[in-house]
Structures are given as structure tokens and as C-alpha cells.
């Protein structure tokens, strides 16, 4: 039953993405304003170069509050070694990743190109739909 469900079938395709040159406080407000916990960072060619998360932003905001130091581009604060999943991966494999990792979302690639993002909630929704 699960073997027919692919990540592509469950992922979010309309993504808010960030540019690595965007000022970090502006990017933080992008996450806040869109009520999202993280966003892929893509360069001018559309290549995935990082991920910016709430955790990264909280560190920036705390630093700004304590040291009145803030600012700089997203590229200075994002995670660069981003774990990804493939669009054709099985949903069960994605679910297992979430059980064994602290991540709440993974960028989804298709032949090396960012095509979406899958979250824990997306996986839960997909698996739950199979067991109404």
C-alpha cells in the first residue's frame, strides 16, 4: 500500500525561498510573516545552497538583543550541508528519516533541482490518508 506513494505525491511545491544575499533580519521577518519554520536558500541559478530555519533566526535575534550586533547576509547564518530527499523516494523512507533525525522538513530534489519540500506533517497526512 505504502510502496506506491512517492514524496512527489505529498510534498509542498509552492515554496517561499530565500536568496543568500538577503539581509538576515529581513529573511527572519519573511519566515515570521509567512508563518513558516524554515526556507530553502537558492542562488540566482535556482540551485539549493542552504537552509535557513527558525533556530538560525532565533540565534540572530538573541545576538542582536544582547550585543546590538545584527545583520549580514543569509549566507552567514544558513546551514550549508543540507540533507535532501528525492521526489521519487518512497514516502515510507521519508517517514523513517523523520523518526531518526531532528529535522522537521527536507528539501525535495528531482535530478538535482529543487522541486519542493516535505515536512513531518506532510508525511503524517499522507500516511494517515491511507488509514482513514
Of 8, 17, 10, the closest CA to residue 128 belongs to: 10
Report, as an integer, the average pLDDT of 125-131: 86
Give every CB contact of residue 33 below 8 A, 6+ residues apart in sequence. none
- Cα separation, 61 vs 73, in Å, equals 14
Cell numbers that stand for 77 in this block: 547564518
Is 90 exceeded by the pLDDT of residue 14?
yes
The pLDDT of residue 87 is 97
Which element (helix H / strand E) includes 105? Answer: strand 105-110
Residue, of 122 and 130, whose pLDDT is higher: 122
CATH number at residue 96: 3.10.580.10
Query: Which three three-digit cell numbers place residue 79?
Result: 546551514
Predicted local distance difference test score (pLDDT) of residue 65 = 63
| Closest C-alpha to 94, from 11, 36, 15, 12 | 11
pLDDT tens per residue across span 100-125:
878 889 999 999 899 999 999 999 99
Q: What is the pLDDT of residue 67?
A: 61
Is pLDDT larger for residue 128 or for residue 86?
86
C-alpha span between 42 and 40 (Å, rounded): 6
Give the number of domains in the chain. Answer: 1
- The residues, ordered by sequence, that sit 6+ positions from 120 with a Cβ below 8 Å of its Cβ are 98, 104, 105
Q: Per-residue pLDDT tens for 25-64? A: 999 999 999 999 999 999 999 899 999 999 999 888 887 7
Share of the chain above pLDDT 70, in %: 92
Whole domain around residue 71: which residue ranges? 2-130
pLDDT digit string (tens) for 66-81? 666 667 899 999 999 9
Amino acid at each position: 500500500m505504502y510502496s506506491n506513494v512517492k514524496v512527489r505525491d505529498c510534498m509542498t511545491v509552492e515554496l517561499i525561498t530565500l536568496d543568500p544575499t538577503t539581509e538576515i533580519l529581513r529573511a527572519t521577518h519573511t519566515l515570521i510573516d509567512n508563518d513558516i519554520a524554515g526556507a530553502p536558500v537558492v542562488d540566482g541559478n535556482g540551485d539549493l545552497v542552504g537552509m535557513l530555519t527558525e533556530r538560525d533566526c532565533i540565534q540572530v535575534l538573541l545576538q542582536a538583543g544582547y550585543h546590538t550586533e545584527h545583520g549580514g547576509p543569509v549566507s552567514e547564518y544558513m546551514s550549508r550541508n543540507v540533507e535532501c530527499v528525492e521526489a521519487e523516494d518512497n514516502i515510507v523512507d521519508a517517514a523513517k528519516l523523520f523518526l531518526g533525525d531532528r529535522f522537521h522538513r527536507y528539501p525535495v530534489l528531482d535530478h538535482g533541482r529543487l522541486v519542493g519540500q516535505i515536512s513531518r506533517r506532510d508525511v503524517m497526512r499522507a500516511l494517515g490518508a491511507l488509514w482513514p
